[in-house]
Amino acid sequence: MGLLDKFESARAIREQLSVGGHDPTAVVMEQILSPTEGIVEGRNTILAGTNNYLGLTFDPACVAAARNAIESQGTGTTGSRMANGSFSAHAALEQELADFFKVGHGMVFSTGYAANLGTLVALLNPGDAVLLDADAHASLYDGCQMSGADIFRFRHNDVESLEKRLQRLGERAQDCLIVTEGLYSVMGDCAPLVEIAALKEKYGALLLVDEAHSLGVYGDNGCGVAEAQGVMDQVDFFVGTFSKSLGAMGGFCVSRHPELDLLRYLSRPFIFTASSSPSIIASTHEALKQVKGRPELRETLWRNADRLYQGFNELGFETGPEVSPVVAVKLGAKEAALPFWNQLLEKGVYTNLMVPPASPDQHSYIRCSVSAAHSREQVEQIIEAFGSLKHLLQADG
């Protein structure tokens, strides 16, 4: 096989995805009008698949902070912190994140993906054991694989499956790493962190929780699912991203372990990646202030999530197991999901199409991510659009 021959399979995937009229991976947002509305193919389109949970991408204070940072610090850092030094704002944001999670130590990465990669490849070595939820994000899988550690998968959110693997590890269970997410981004279900934390304590393991999709959404202060379930003091490492509720781009790891400060000497994604631009750091800093100071954003978000989840279920759609800002509708085969997603876009509703192997099982899903910025009218329009297309699934069945 020639070096480029492998791309024939990718070409086949692209052609299959384009059969319904649009390739879901190639949608162009011609204009962004607000956190919840854009122009796609000349049509006003409700954005219902952006992960913009708190709607802060157009927040005046966040925009002003970014603009001021560009004017005072320039457009970029032009290098990694190891090579070019750290801007004071980067260090300040690390401390603010550590304080937000009530731990002592923090690191900021240029992307959420780099945060997971950079944390895991520094924490784990060949011969170490890591227990990973089967539905964990690709960045968590990649970080574990790149570390060379021995990976033991446990069934998604299955505490019994996790304990069986801990038992089989024997003495290796002590100091092994358990990796889970807070809120899972396809089905919108939360990890049973109370039970997982109890097993962590029982076997002497360490626990890393990815709060990427739950930061700003769960907990009295918006710290995530661990806060909502009351186990923050039992989590050893929190990782997350700025690209969801905080409306920017970047990632972080915070921990009560002082060894986190030494990760920057071992983490290749941190060492060799240019640090985030001043504008991103500034807007993220301001967005974190909004998370802490405006609990009404979470209240509005949850009201919208409740209504969308309820509306889909009233129409007879099969949704995820619990209400969350991620609302997924199970559509079965890819052949049914593609035209459904295309017709939604034609009706002015942008969503996320999840098909195997990207979906957690062999089924296809349409995923919506709710925002605090969605108006009640927009939520009803989304529900109405789904309802008007239900006949496509009945015809397929």
pLDDT class of 145 with cuts at 50, 70, 90: very high
pLDDT value at residue 146: 96
- The pLDDT score that the predictor gives to residue 362 is 78
pLDDT over threshold 90, residue 79: yes
With CA atoms as reference, report the closest residue to 21 among 351, 339, 385, 366.
Answer: 339
Which of 225-229, 297-301, 364-368 has the lowest average pLDDT? 364-368
pLDDT at 395 (0 to 100): 53
Mean pLDDT of 310-322: 95
Q: How far apart are alpha carbons 182 and 209 in whole angstroms?
A: 6
Of the chain, the percentage scoring pLDDT greater than 70 comes to 98
* The predicted structure's pLDDT at residue 22: 82
Tell me, yes or no, if 213 is annotated catalytic: yes
Which tens digits make up the pLDDT trace of 169-182?
999 999 999 999 99
Q: Which of 110, 185, 275, 371 is catalytic?
A: 185
The predicted structure's pLDDT at residue 335: 78
pLDDT at 265 over 80: yes
Cis peptide before 357 (omega within 30 of 0): yes
The reported pLDDT for the residue numbered 120 is 98
Give the whole-number percent of the chain exceeding pLDDT 90: 86
Domains along the chain? 19-48+295-396 (3.90.1150.10), 60-293 (3.40.640.10)
330 is catalytic: no
Is the model's pLDDT at 21 over the cut of 80? no
Catalytic residue among 22, 90, 213, 285: 213
Q: How confident is the model at residue 100 (pLDDT cuts 50, 70, 90)?
A: very high
Q: Are 120 and 126 in contact (CB under 8 A)?
A: no
- Average pLDDT of the residues in 156-184: 97
- The tens digit of pLDDT for each residue in 320-379 reads 999 999 999 998 777 788 899 999 999 999 999 988 777 777 788 999 999 999 999 999
Catalytic residue chosen out of the listed positions 90, 105, 244, 374: 244
Write down the pLDDT at residue 359.
Answer: 76
pLDDT band at 396 (very low <50, low <70, confident <90, very high): low
- Could you tell me which of 150, 214, 162 has the C-alpha nearest to residue 188? 214
Q: Which residue has the higher pLDDT, 360 or 286?
A: 286
pLDDT of 301: 98
Q: Report yes or no on whether pTM surpasses 0.85.
A: yes
| Top-confidence residue, 360 or 205 | 205
**Alpha carbon of residue 352 to chain centroid:** 13
* Edge-to-edge order in the sheet of strand 177-181: 105-109, 251-255, 237-241, 206-210, 177-181, 129-133, 150-154
Could you tell me the end-to-end alpha-carbon distance of the chain, in angstroms, rounded to an integer?
A: 40
Contacts of 274 (CB under 8 A, 6+ apart): 76, 77, 78, 79, 80, 110
Residue 65 identity: A
Q: Is 73 exposed, middle or buried (0-12, 13-18, 19+ CB in 10 A)?
A: middle
Mean pLDDT of 217-235: 98
Residues 73 and 67: their CA atoms lie apart, in Å, by 10
Q: What would the mean pLDDT of 111-132 be, rounded to a whole number?
A: 97
The answer on pLDDT for 12 being more than 90 is no
Q: Is 324 a catalytic residue?
A: no
Q: What is the mean pLDDT of residues 285-294?
A: 97
Residue burial 204-235, b: 16+ Cβ < 10 Å; e: rest:
ebbbbbbbbbbbbbbbebbbbbbbbbebbebb
Confidence check: pLDDT of 397 > 80? no
